[in-house]
Structure 1
C-alpha cells in the first residue's frame, strides 16, 4: 500500500455540509477520509447504502474527547475502486487494515455500522487489526443479514442493471425511506442519494450489491468467541432492516459484550438520533 495522502479543498460533490479532505491510495482503489479532534483514536466505519455522511453529527461529538477517523468504504461516497476490484466486505476489511497502518494507529477503537460492523469484525479477527474497543452498531455480522430487497437485486441483477436510471433512482429513494425511523429531511435525502445518481451511480450501487456476501463474515463469526477487547452491541430500537433480536444474539456470541439501544432510531441510528448514539459510544469508550 502507498502511504501517500493528498489534501483537497474542494467540497464534497454531494453536500456542502460534510466533506472528506484526504485521499489515500490503497490496494483496491482510493479512499476518501477525514480526521477530527484529539485524543484516543476512534475509527468510524459506515455501512451500505450509506457513506461517511451518516457520521456527520456523531463524529464532532466524539471528537471532543477522541481523534476520530472517518472514511468512505471503497465504492461508496467519494472513495473509488480500481477496475476489477469488487467492494466486498473482505476487501473493505483489508482496506481498514491498510488505513490503520497508514494512520500509524496502535490499537484504535473500531466502530462499525451495518456491513461496517462485518468489516470491523473481519479486520480484527482475520486481518489481525488490534483494537482497544469494538462497537457494533446495527451490524451485519450474523447471517443471514441481507434484506429481501438486496436478495432480489442479487437474483435479478440483469433486470436492475438495464433499468432506466430514473426508475432505478425512485427505487433507491424508497429504500432509503425505510432506513430511518424519522423522515429524512430533503437535504439529508439528497445527500444520501447523490452518490447513486444517474447511470454511473446505478452501476456503483449494483456493484456493491453484487459484492456483499455473508461468506465474507462467516470466518469471523466462527471466531467471535476469541474477541477479548471490550465490545458494545448498539442497536436502534426501531430497526426495520436487522431486528433487535439479531443484536441480542450477536452480543451473546461475544464474551462479555455489553448491549445498549438507541430510542427513536431505525437502522440508520446515527441519522435518527445522533446525540444518543454519540452518548452511548462515549460512555462505552470511557
Structure 2
C-alpha cells in the first residue's frame, strides 16, 4: 500500500523474510541513499527527504522490524546491531539494490551503518552519521534502564509513552510542538511497537561501536558527521573525537539544534547531505 506523506515523499513497503518492511522514499531514478533510524523511526528523516530528492538522489528511509510502520517484532536477539545490520542488507536485496550504496544513520542507526561498513555487509560508497552513537557514548540512561528485565516487566504502556514524550521533547529541542511530538509518538500507541522498542533498547550494547573502531581507523570511505551542537544524548565531543581519529571524515556542526537536527535545520542539512552524497 502506498501513501503520499508530503508532495514528493511516498510511504510504501516491500517484504523482507515474508514480513512487510515500511519505508519512506522519493520514487525516481537516481543514486540510492539508505537512511537508518535508531530509537525513533523513519519519521526523523522526513524533513530532508524532498531536499535529497531535489538533488537527484533516491532517498530510502526504512523502519526497522516492529518499529514505526514495519511489521514483525524485535526480540533481544534480533534487536542487536549485528542482527539489524543483517536485516538491512536483506532489505536492500529485497529492493533490488546492488553496487555501491550511500548510507546515513541517526542514533543507533549510526551503529548499524558503521557495522555495515566495516563488515562489508553492503558495498557502502559514502557514510554519513547524524547525531549517531559512537565509541562508548551509549546506551544513555533513559535507554540503559530497559536492559533490566524487571524494569521492562514493570513498565506500563502509559509509563513508556510518558518517557518517550519526555525524550522526544528533549530530542526535538526548539522544534518541539505538541503536534510534532504527537506525530512522532504515534507508533508507540501500538503494543507490538512498544515491545519491539524495548527489545531494541534492551539489546543496546556499545561493544559493537567500540569493536568497530580499529577497522574505522583503517577505512578510507568518505564520511560526513552532521551534529546538532545542543544534543543532550550524543554529545558533540564524541563527534569531534570521531572526526579527529577517522580518515576522510568531515564534521558539520549544526548550532541551536538537538538530537534530531533535521527538524531544526532541514534545509542546510539536506543540502550538506546532498552535496556529500553527490560529490
Structure-1-length-normalised TM-score: 0.86
Q: How does 1:160-199 map to 2 (within 5 A)?
A: 160-197=152-189, 199=191
The alpha-carbon deviation at position 149 of structure 1 amounts to 1.3
Structure 2 residue runs of 5 or longer lacking an equivalent are: none
Q: Comparing both chains, which one has the higher relative contact order based on Cα–Cα distances under 8 Å and sequence gaps of 6 or more?
A: 2
The alpha-carbon deviation at position 113 of structure 1 amounts to 0.9
Q: How does 1:166-245 map to 2 (within 5 A)?
A: 166-197=158-189, 199-245=191-237
Q: Which of 32, 44, 56 matches 2:35?
A: 44
Which residue pairs with 1:61 in the alignment? 51
The alpha-carbon deviation at position 31 of structure 1 amounts to 1.8
The alpha-carbon deviation at position 73 of structure 1 amounts to 1.6
The alpha-carbon deviation at position 44 of structure 1 amounts to 1.1
The alpha-carbon deviation at position 247 of structure 1 amounts to 0.4
Asked if the contact 2:228–2:259 (Cα under 8 Å) also holds between the matched residues in 1, the reply is: yes
Asked if the contact 2:262–2:269 (Cα under 8 Å) also holds between the matched residues in 1, the reply is: yes
Take 2:74 and 2:35, find their aligned partners in 1: how far apart are those partners? 26
Tell which deviates more after alignment, 207-216 or 194-203: 194-203
Take 2:208 and 2:17, find their aligned partners in 1: how far apart are those partners? 19
Which residue pairs with 2:244 in the alignment? 252
The alpha-carbon deviation at position 9 of structure 1 amounts to 3.4
The alpha-carbon deviation at position 244 of structure 1 amounts to 0.4
Q: How does 1:80-95 map to 2 (within 5 A)?
A: 80-81=71-72, 86-95=78-87
Q: Which of 46, 70, 74 matches 1:79?
A: 70
The alpha-carbon deviation at position 153 of structure 1 amounts to 2.5
Q: 1:161 to 1:184 in 2, by over 3 A?
A: farther
Asked if the contact 2:118–2:212 (Cα under 8 Å) also holds between the matched residues in 1, the reply is: yes
Structure-2-length-normalised TM-score: 0.88
Superposition RMSD in Å: 2.5
Match of 2:172, SS? coil
Q: Which of 84, 98, 109 matches 1:105?
A: 98
Structure 1 residue runs of 5 or longer lacking an equivalent are: 1-7
Structure with more of its chain in helix, by fraction = 2
Take 1:99 and 1:164, find their aligned partners in 2: how far apart are those partners? 32
Asked if the contact 2:145–2:151 (Cα under 8 Å) also holds between the matched residues in 1, the reply is: no
